Every structure is written in structure tokens, then in C-alpha cells.
Amino acid sequence: MTAKITMTTPLVEMNGDEMTRILWQWIKETLIQPYVDLNTEYYDLSLEKRDASNDQITTEAALATKKYGVAVKCATITPNAQRMKEYSLKEMWKSPNATIRSILDGTIFRTPIIVDSVKPFVSTWKKPITIARHAYGDIYKDVEYRVEAPGKAELVFTGENGEVRQTIFEFKGPGLLMSMHNLDRSIQSFARSCFNFALDRKQDLWFSAKDTISKTYDGTFKEIFQQLYEQDYKEKFEAAGIQYFYTLIDDAIARVIRSEGGFIWACKNYDGDVMSDMVATAFGSLAMMTSVLVSPDGYYEFEAAHGTVTRHYYQYQKGTETSTNPMATIFAWTGALKKRGELDGIPELARFADALEQAAIQTIEDGVMTKDLADLSLLSQKKVLNSQAFLSEIRQRLDKILS
């Protein structure tokens, strides 16, 4: 066996909860540590450790990502009332992803892992479609009001130089009101993350909104994208042979469905929420969806799009074997190692990550897979394995590729 690959800069490793925490360990032991002299700065974001540190550990992990540039994260529990009881929590801590995102100020890109034997429900799709969702403002930070009786609703802005007042509607009876906001700064950083990601992947970038109806709100999104594109990205896009284009959200949907895939689709917050579920489902399985947070300053945090797979974990705790799909978590590791290799000039590390991805896909194409995929795969011969046996099959193929 050849020597292990050496890393020069630590990768920020954020461990998590439940079944994905179990997979995390198995993936490292089986597929990474035998080949890479893994250099990580380790943060345990399990719910117990977050509670014990009053959630300081999450902030520290995010700050470490700013320091080193690349992180890989395991899925984590977002506490709710039931989890408060289950883990006797001191507080209902915020979602770690929300905390990390607010520190790094990034955009989340979700890309499906494509295998030939699992056909997307949309027959024209051949290549992955990445959804970039703006993760600030709009209805997620709105103010809503239930109108019970007649009255006049006004939009009032009190600025340093006085007041602006506009009538929204004169209510004759009950109805509804809602107000939303957004920030130029946030839209600009969203746009920059999208342009940078498109250059990184060498894929076209589409941005869609509804500026024909929402002339000021959506119109400003469109303008900010266009302005930054002309100013900072046009030349780079032309040099890379890729395109940026804006289109109305309805037109975008029609084009996406008729497309072959292979592009990045930037969406406003709500559109991205809805469309990412549509795209994920249409590509086959949530277990095959990767996710990366890219900050406008060029920091990366890689993870799987799915959660901690609680139902499987409860089975595992009872001693039952589970066939949980590790693909998206493996690809979080390969994405992070590849980026680390690129930034540090260690081509062997990027080559190893590519080989691991290839081995994982090859395993599924050979008809060896976890239960979730067996229901979707078109292959006539299928071998359904538990998670550990599936990882061993990947390892055998990886050894062949690397030898």
C-alpha cells in the first residue's frame, strides 16, 4: 500500500447526531483514514455537547471555518419541544445550520448525486441541477396581521429625514396583511456567492424572480444581480465559457423541466424552499442530495441535505441492522477534501476524493445499494445491503481504482 496523503491545513470537522453520527464514524474508518492522514480540527456538535457548552461549540466551529476556509458537517438535531424532553435540554437551542449561516453569511447550494440506474422523473434531465436558495428575509422574517374589522392599512417608513406613507388597502371587512423586507447587502452577497459558485463549477447560472409584478422588490434583486455581473463577473464568465441569465420564475420553471440539467438555478428564499424539494424528489432520493454553504468571502461548509435519520437510529439502538444510505455524507467529505486539496495545492487529495466518488457511484451501478435506492433503481439484479456492508463494497472498488 502506498503512503497516506498528507494534509497541510486542517479541515474543520463538525460531528453531529443519531444515525448520521454512526455513519460518520464508519465512513471515516472505512473510506478515508486508510488513505488520508486526516488533519481535522474537530468540533462535536452533538446535541449533548451543544447543550453542555450553551451552544458555544457551534459558534466556535463556525469561526474555525472562517479561519481555515473549509468545513465538513454531519447532520444535527434541531431541537423542538419533544427533543427538549428527550435530551433534558437547558434551552431550545437554535438550529446549528442557522447559527453557522448567520456567522458565515452564505448561500446554500444543493446538488443531486446522479447514477445511471436511477432515472429522474423528468426524462430529459441528464445532468444535476443545483438550486441556490437565498436564505434571508421575505416571508421567513415577515410581519403578519389579521384584519378583523374595517379600516385603512398603510405602509409607513420612519426615516432620519421624515416619514413615507402609502396606502395598502382600505378594508371594508375582515382580511389579511403581511409585510416583508430584504437588504441590499444580503442580496449582493447572495449574488456573489452564486457567481463564484458558477465559476467554481463551470456551469451556467440562471436567476429567476417576478419583476414584472413586483417591480421594486423583485426588480431590485434583478438589478443587483445584473449590476454585479457587469461590474465583476462578465469577463470571468466569458473566459470560462459560461453564461448568466435572468428570466421570470414561470419561464424558468418551464425551461428547467425541458432542460438537460447541468446548471445552477438561483432562487429567492421561498422559491428556493419549494423548488429544492421539487428538484430533490424529481431526481429520486433525499439521501442522494448534497449541500454546500458558500460564503461571499469564499468559505465552504459541505454536508448532506438530509437530517439525522432518526427512525433508522431508533432501530439501530435496538440492535437492528439498518440500510441507511451514506452517499450524501460521503460526498460531503469528498467535496470538502477536494476543496482543501485545491486551496492547498495537493492534487493527490483532490484525485483521491474523485476516486472515492467514482467508487461510490460504481457500486450502485453494479447493483449494490441501500434499501432506499433499491426501490428506485432500474437494474434487474439488485443486492440490498446494510450500511456497513455497502461501505465495504465501496472500499473494494476504491482499492481497485487506486491500485
Binding site for Mg ion (CB under 5 A): 273, 277
Comparing CB distances to Mg ion, the nearer of 223 and 273 is 273
In 3-state terms, what secondary structure has residue 60?
helix
Q: Does the footprint of ligand NAP cover residue 310 (CB under 6 A)?
A: yes
* Contacted by 77, from Mg ion, ligand NAP, none: CB < 5 to 8 Å by type: ligand NAP
Residues 55-84 contacting ligand NAP, CB under 6 A: 75-78
Residue 142 CA to residue 119 CA, distance in Å, equals: 39
Residue 390 CA to residue 334 CA, distance in Å, equals: 17
Of the candidates 137, 175, 219, 307, which one interacts with ligand NAP according to CB under 6 A? 307
Residue 361 CA to residue 31 CA, distance in Å, equals: 14
Comparing CB distances to ligand NAP, the nearer of 78 and 214 is 78
Of the candidates 72, 287, 294, 359, which one interacts with ligand NAP according to CB under 6 A? 287
Residue 309 CA to residue 58 CA, distance in Å, equals: 21
* Contacted by 287, from ligand NAP, Mg ion, none: CB < 5 to 8 Å by type: ligand NAP
Which residues does 352 contact at the CB level (< 8 Å), separation at least 6?
A: 5, 35, 36, 337, 341, 402
Of the candidates 222, 306, 338, 339, which one interacts with ligand NAP according to CB under 6 A? 306
We find the least distance from the C-beta atom of residue 177 to Mg ion, in angstroms, to be 25
* Contacted by 310, from Mg ion, ligand NAP, none: CB < 5 to 8 Å by type: ligand NAP
We find the least distance from the C-beta atom of residue 8 to ligand NAP, in angstroms, to be 29
* Contacted by 273, from ligand NAP, Mg ion, none: CB < 5 to 8 Å by type: Mg ion
Residue 116 CA to residue 326 CA, distance in Å, equals: 18
Backbone angles phi, psi at 35, to 5 degrees: -115, -30
DSSP strand E in 136-195: where? 143-147, 151-159, 162-171, 175-179
Of the candidates 125, 372, 394, 397, which one interacts with ligand NAP according to CB under 6 A? 372
**Which range in 170-178, 235-243, 254-262, 309-317 contacts ligand NAP by CB under 6 A?**
309-317
Comparing CB distances to ligand NAP, the nearer of 280 and 355 is 280
Contact 131, 272 (CB under 8 A): yes
We find the least distance from the C-beta atom of residue 17 to ligand NAP, in angstroms, to be 7
We find the least distance from the C-beta atom of residue 23 to ligand NAP, in angstroms, to be 8
Which residues does 266 contact at the CB level (< 8 Å), separation at least 6?
A: 132, 134, 190, 191, 194, 205, 206, 207, 208, 225
Using alpha carbons, list the distances in angstroms from residue 50 to 45, 80, 221, 243, 309. Answer: 6, 14, 36, 43, 19
We find the least distance from the C-beta atom of residue 286 to ligand NAP, in angstroms, to be 5
Comparing CB distances to ligand NAP, the nearer of 205 and 286 is 286
We find the least distance from the C-beta atom of residue 90 to ligand NAP, in angstroms, to be 18
Residue 167 CA to residue 129 CA, distance in Å, equals: 41
**Which range in 174-182, 189-197, 302-310, 390-398 contacts ligand NAP by CB under 6 A?**
302-310
Residue 303 CA to residue 293 CA, distance in Å, equals: 8
We find the least distance from the C-beta atom of residue 155 to ligand NAP, in angstroms, to be 35
Residue nearest to Mg ion (CB): 273
**Which range in 224-232, 299-307, 339-347, 378-386 contacts ligand NAP by CB under 6 A?**
299-307
Residue 338 CA to residue 356 CA, distance in Å, equals: 11
Contact 147, 122 (CB under 8 A): no
Comparing CB distances to ligand NAP, the nearer of 12 and 286 is 286
Residue 350 CA to residue 334 CA, distance in Å, equals: 8
Question: What is the x/- site pattern for ligand NAP, positions 257-286, by CB under 6 A?
Answer: -----------------------------x
* Contacted by 293, from Mg ion, ligand NAP, none: CB < 5 to 8 Å by type: none
Which residues does 267 contact at the CB level (< 8 Å), separation at least 6?
A: 131, 132, 133, 134, 207, 208, 249, 275, 276
Comparing CB distances to ligand NAP, the nearer of 357 and 372 is 372
Helix residue ranges, H only, 284-370? 310-317, 327-344, 347-365
Find the distance separating the first CA and the last CA of the chain, reported in whole Å.
Answer: 8
Could you tell me what percentage of the chain is helix, strand and coil, using 3-state DSSP and rounding each to the nearest 5?
45, 20, 30
Of the candidates 325, 334, 363, 377, which one interacts with ligand NAP according to CB under 6 A? 325
Residues of this chain that interact with ligand NAP (CB under 6 A) are 75-78, 97, 286-287, 303, 306-311, 324-325, 372
